[in-house]
Structure 1
Amino acid sequence: MDIALMSMALNQGKVQQQASLSVIKMAIGNAEQQGEAIQKLMSTNNVAAIQHTAQPHLGGNIDLKV
């Protein structure tokens, strides 16, 4: 087997592994931020804010008949 080809293949594998690790770290960071936001929201006594977070589409429109 050609040593240059083997070296290129190993380096390509390392780059792919580093990219995957970077994406996973970003996902973990986002999950931690969301978890902190949920904990903060749940610790408040504002029921309306909790309900709006759970169902943000409710209460946005009003049907009127004239």
Structure 2
Amino acid sequence: MDIPAMSMVLAQNNLSQAVGISVLKMAKEQMTEQGQQVVQLIERSVQPNLGGNLDISV
């Protein structure tokens, strides 16, 4: 068994996993921000009085 080589492989796997987790965390934070921005846009576009009254003349 080549212990130094196995140690290097394990270290590389740990680094790769840590990088992957960091990238996923950044993507999650970005999606959360975008979701909050969409909610703010929707809240701004809502007009509560629109459609409350209907004027009909015959």
TM-score of the two chains, using structure 1 as the length reference: 0.67
Matches within 5 A, 1:13-28: 13-28=13-28
RMSD of the alignment, in Å? 1.6
Aligned to 1:29: 29
Matched positions, count: 47
Query: Looking at CA atoms only, which structure, 1 or 2, has the larger radius of gyration?
Result: 2
Is 1:39 aligned with 2:39? yes
Q: Which runs of 5+ in 2 are unaligned?
A: 48-58
Percent identity of equivalent pairs: 36
Q: Which runs of 5+ in 1 are unaligned?
A: 48-66
Once residues 40 and 31 of structure 1 are traced to their aligned partners in structure 2, the CA distance between those partners, rounded to angstroms, is 14
TM-score of the two chains, using structure 2 as the length reference: 0.75
Per the TM alignment, residue 45 of structure 1 is displaced from its structure 2 partner at its CA by: 2.9
Q: Could you list the runs of 4 or more consecutive aligned residues of structure 1 that deviate by over 2 angstroms after TM superposition?
A: none
- The one of the two structures with greater contact order (alpha-carbon pairs below 8 A, sep at least 6) is 1
